[in-house]
Structure 1
Amino acid sequence: MPDVGCWLMAESTEGTDFRFMRPANDNAIGKISANGEITIELLERCLDRLAIAMERAPQGGEVYLPIFERLEAEIEAKKASESTMARALRRVRR
């Protein structure tokens, strides 16, 4: 199995900054779209890869729990946002 890549998240005054760390064999998890949007599918793949890294971690992976929880929260926030937008668009179309 290839090395695990990871998205790194950094908080700043301008919001959340996502940066991709490629695995040693350059096998990227996914790409950010041309407009810079990070999709739910991409976050889900990152969560999968992080779970693999947690399983392989010599210290048991507990050190990665905050990152795992943050990715889960980002996914839920994106889902909620998409749901809100869909509701707004349905209202316009009726």
Structure 2
Amino acid sequence: MSPLEKLFGKTAQMTVLEYLMKNKEEINYLSGIAQGTGLYHSSVARVLEPLLENNIVIEKKIGKQMRSFTLNEEHKAAQILMKFYDEVKKELGD
């Protein structure tokens, strides 16, 4: 059980956010996030929307149809979330 799941329960948005924090150095495609989290493609797309709207996640289009997603490490809220995640992970384990 992940540290965030221990505290807040399992939600699709929390699962996607945690996945992006763990894989922040990589290019993350919608299908890869779905596969990595065990969520449906449509669920990942739905929960990414508020993260995109609040600039926590950045979307980059590759070609006409490919979309990649990364955590916006320059955004203050994303920095706070990453710091919180790291601290909770240290305290509660992975």
TM-score, normalization: structure 2? 0.31
**TM-score normalized by the length of structure 1:** 0.31
- Choose between structure 1 and 2: higher helix proportion: 2
